[in-house]
Amino acid sequence: MPSSLHCESQHDAMKVDASRPLPQTPSNSEQFNRLQNLFDKSFKAARVGIWECTLPDETLTWTDTVYELFELEPRSPLVREATVALYLPESRKKLTEVRSAAIRDGDGFTLDAQIITGKGNLRWIRITAIVERVDGQPVRIFGMKQDITAEKTLFEQIRHSAETDPVTGLASRTKFDTAFDEAVTAGSSGQKALLLIDLDSFKAVNDRLGHQAGDECLRDAGRRISEATPNATVIARLGGDEFAIIVDCASVESLDDIARRVTGKLEWWVGSFPNKLKVGASVGGAMILPGIPAKDIFAEADGALYAVKAKSKSSLGVLSVPNRIADVA
């Protein structure tokens, strides 16, 4: 890193970085120039720029690549307050926190942050920073800024794929497990409930109307569940024709009402004569109560679901079963 950065390009940064230069012979001079050129090209290809902010006057110096990242006119005057304003509020808050802590008593930080460029484009940058001190006092903070938008976009695509059911667009089993654990961990008495849903006659839809009709049936079920529980914390397809809902719920009576609303929505006809099939649903639920493990709450809802299925083949009702953990609907 440069010791007093007046960098107009990464090439300048390399020159100030080069402590203990080799004796100037034609051979090593040519090699050094070649390495400088490679350094400059590598930084530019990686979308990495160098920055410096002197302390306490907050004077900024950027290399050209940083100007490019922020889509500002190269070599234009920099005012720190104006550049910080380009960060999204959450990133700006985090940057202020980690920067202040590093200047106060640290030696640096790394932060991924979002900015709105001078041209209005959303971009992710990775900031690395080092604090330089003289006699224990911070005199400047400097480091690199790198464009990581492509990396973040790819990560978001992978995350979305892992958390989304590809058929219905609802949450996946992975997403449900995370949300359920969070609800159980943070749960306060009587505030949330779990409902498990099984579609009836879905196998017949697949067997008689084909898998394309089966997929459409699942999508329709997801839409109907969403309409029945618009304020649900999460609605997920667990696999096959099984769905789960985590919903705000103040009491067992409210849970019973929600379950009946869901079963009412999940009664419809699929296909056309003579291959017209009626689809219904069974619903079992349990309150999410403090101190009860997630596996036990899930087992209660699952038990209620299969009690419903055993009681009524039409499965268009809900069953209330009080027990040692919670009332279930």
Strand partners, 132: 140
What distance in Å separates the CA atoms of residue 62 and residue 79, rounded to the nearest whole number? 11
Q: Which residues are registered as beta bridge partners of 276?
A: 271
Partners of 203 in the beta sheet? none
Query: How big, in percent rounded to 5, are the helix, strand and coil portions of the chain?
Result: 45, 30, 30
The whole-angstrom separation of Cα 298 and Cα 289 is 12
Burial level of 149, CB count in 10 A (0-12/13-18/19+)?
middle
- The structure tokens 């999460």 sit at 234
For residues 294 and 265, the answer to whether their CB atoms sit within 8 Å is: no
Residue 241 is among the residues annotated as catalytic for this protein: yes
Rounded to an integer, what distance in angstroms lies between the CA atom of residue 161 and that of residue 150? Answer: 17
Q: What is the DSSP letter of 23?
A: P
From the candidates 241, 248, 302, 327, which is the catalytic residue? 241
Across 221-244, b (16+ Cβ under 10 Å) vs e yields bbebbbebbeebbbbbbbeebbbb
Residues acting as catalytic residues: 241
